[in-house]
Amino acid sequence: MTNLEDFFFSVDTENNDATPAVRAALAAARAGGERRLVFPKARYDFWPDRAFEQYWFISNNDEGLKRIVFPLEGLEDFEIDGQGSEFVFHGYVLPFTLRGCKEITLKNFSIDWARTFHSEAVVLAAREGSIDIEIPEQFPYKIPHDRLVFTGEGDITYDISNMLEFDTNKRETAFGVFDNFAVHDWHTAEEIGPRQVRVHAKFSTLPTPGNTMAIMDGGRLCPTITIERSQGVTVQNVTLYHSGGMGIIAQHSSDLRVENLTVTTPPESGRMISLTADATHFVNCAGEIVLENCVFENQMDDATNVHGIYGQISAIVSPTEIEFALVHPQQLGIDIFAAGDPIEFVRNTTLETFHENTVARVDRVNKQFTRLTLESPLPTDLSLKDAVANLRWIPNLTARGCRSRGNRARGFLVTTGGKALIENNHFHIAGAAILIEGDANYWFESGKVRDVTIRGNHFENCNYGVWGTATIEVNPGVAEPYRAQSLYHHSIRVENNTFDDFHGRLLAAHCVDGLTFTGNVMRPSGAYPKRSAGGELLEITHCANVDIRDNDLSTS
């Protein structure tokens, strides 16, 4: 066992920075074949200054040359045990990266930043074209040349990409509000009192005085736990109070267990927002993904998203060679194929698979383009914009006993062809609690589902925000003219769930073959005003083999 306190060298005292101690401890543990690094229970501060440096492409986050405090690479059978410690980070630094690791456990610590990447303010007044806000001292700012800029430690400044209104009392996004992305392109600001600022901008919806504006820097530069090409990773009894990006992001990894992960705001911090993006996110993973007894609260994006990546065909080089592009800017640089991988070809219109093959050779051109040589000849009706996906990296997903609430956007995004079980969870989500999507034109997230079970969950008044049209939404990116030709998703069972509901939109689904909705109970709540969108309780279009029975759906 390696104990961090054996590594407090002189250089560590600057800023009370534990980063060099971690570096030395990891090196010593590796050299000595140790299996555990333990932290005496305490607060540890980590600065980027002496951190390890490496360029990372991290799906759905921002690529870049990163500073990393715990860079785990090629480690096997290793455990980091915080023993209840608080890990406090400073500035642009990634807490954990895992690459090429096997059987790693991270447990018993919390992660926060001394200065959050986002800021918050209380709404004092609002009128067409401007709002007045009061900014707590923990979010320092300046107004150079009439523009509101938040400041951090050292000379860090944070831009404003979005302002989003939260209901201060309910601690959730305010009812029916939209993101205010326009404030990024243009706003002016003026000081109107002590820490009181008037912001002139185009606001999508005028906020209510007393509510809280989450003021987001657009960057996703510093996710907390990044996992790449690793197998057997367990995150256990970890609390994530903040991140500059996602909480846990895994790519091309398998057998990932997340147990008793709590994503929330620090007690008595006065903060509304926890993480600045998704709590967890799994891209082109495999094996078993398990989320058990987790809490996902007040992060600025989805609770989880499990999906693959579609590449878009950009050139047909020969009867056995294509070039494809990664299109979504936050997917660039991810090597989605290796030689020997099974590959499917889908139309970008219907998303239907029209060809399968095997990758013989991969030549990466750069982070955007890759050339593939296939083992068998390609069909002659292959078109530019058709999409390719990897059939090897398809995980099973179990999400059980988790509580999700108060965040922006959606709950669980389930886009995987493996066996997915969403069981005994509690959702109070602004958008869709469960979204099954997949598209090859905008997000390029692949994953035709084949076996999804949603059972025994409690959906408590979901869809009070704008991110979705029903509590459970099965909405692959097939445009209306092509829906009649597409049965993209397969075998989705929604069983024995309870819906506390105020707006009569439990399920919206299209392009599904095999949809069962049985044993579910709806309890009208009147908790919020009915959303104006309207629509049916169960909106099912372009589906086959639909089985709806034995539900108790008495309307309010």
Residue 236 touches a second copy, criterion: CB under 8 A = no
Q: What are the structure tokens assigned to 332, written together?
A: 């660039």
Select the residue interacting with a second copy from 128, 185, 268, 381 (CB under 8 A): 185
User: Of 44-52, 258-266, 278-286, 297-305, which segment contacts a second copy by CB under 8 A?
Assistant: 44-52
- CA-based R_g, the chain, Å: 24
99 and 72 Cβ atoms separated by less than 8 Å? yes
The site map against a second copy for 100-119 (x = CB under 8 A) is --------------------
User: Of 133-141, 362-370, 419-427, 455-463, which segment contacts a second copy by CB under 8 A?
Assistant: 362-370
- The least distance separating a second copy from the CB of residue 479, rounded to whole angstroms, comes to 25
Residue 55 touches a second copy, criterion: CB under 8 A = yes
Dihedral sign of CA atoms 423, 226, 256, 105 in order: negative
93 and 51 Cβ atoms separated by less than 8 Å? yes
User: Of 8-16, 119-127, 283-291, 296-304, which segment contacts a second copy by CB under 8 A?
Assistant: 8-16
Residue 194 touches a second copy, criterion: CB under 8 A = no
**In terms of CB distance, is 48 or 247 closer to a second copy?**
48
372 and 319 Cβ atoms separated by less than 8 Å? no
User: Of 43-51, 172-180, 483-491, 514-522, which segment contacts a second copy by CB under 8 A?
Assistant: 43-51
Of 296, 297, 367, the residue nearest 326 (C-alpha):
367
Q: According to CB under 8 A, which residues from 135 to 154 bind a second copy?
A: 144-145
Residue 191 touches a second copy, criterion: CB under 8 A = no
Residue 335 touches a second copy, criterion: CB under 8 A = no
Residue 129 touches a second copy, criterion: CB under 8 A = no
- d(C-alpha 378, C-alpha 392), whole Å: 19
244 and 220 Cβ atoms separated by less than 8 Å? yes
- d(C-alpha 81, C-alpha 99), whole Å: 19
Count the site residues for a second copy by CB under 8 A. Answer: 25
Residue 16 touches a second copy, criterion: CB under 8 A = no
Q: According to CB under 8 A, which residues from 294 to 333 bind a second copy?
A: 315, 317, 323
User: Of 223-231, 274-282, 365-373, 542-550, which segment contacts a second copy by CB under 8 A?
Assistant: 365-373
**In terms of CB distance, is 136 or 333 closer to a second copy?**
333
Calculate the CA dihedral of residues 454, 415, 165, 130 and round it to 10 degrees. Answer: -150
- CA 395 to chain CA centroid, nearest Å: 17
Which H/E stretch holds residue 29? helix 19-32
- The least distance separating a second copy from the CB of residue 184, rounded to whole angstroms, comes to 11
- 3-state DSSP call for residue 252? coil
206 phi, psi to nearest 5 deg: -80, 125
What are the residues whose beta carbons fall under 8 Å from the beta carbon of 268, sequence distance 6 or more?
Answer: none
Select the residue interacting with a second copy from 67, 252, 408, 505 (CB under 8 A): 67
Select the residue interacting with a second copy from 107, 170, 229, 367 (CB under 8 A): 367
Select the residue interacting with a second copy from 52, 150, 282, 517 (CB under 8 A): 52
Q: What are the structure tokens assigned to 281, written together?
A: 């996110």
Select the residue interacting with a second copy from 3, 151, 237, 368 (CB under 8 A): 368
- 3-state DSSP call for residue 376? coil
Residue 17 DSSP one-character state: B
435 and 305 Cβ atoms separated by less than 8 Å? no
Binding site for a second copy (CB under 8 A): 9-11, 14, 49-53, 55, 63, 65, 67, 144-145, 185-186, 315, 317, 323, 365-369
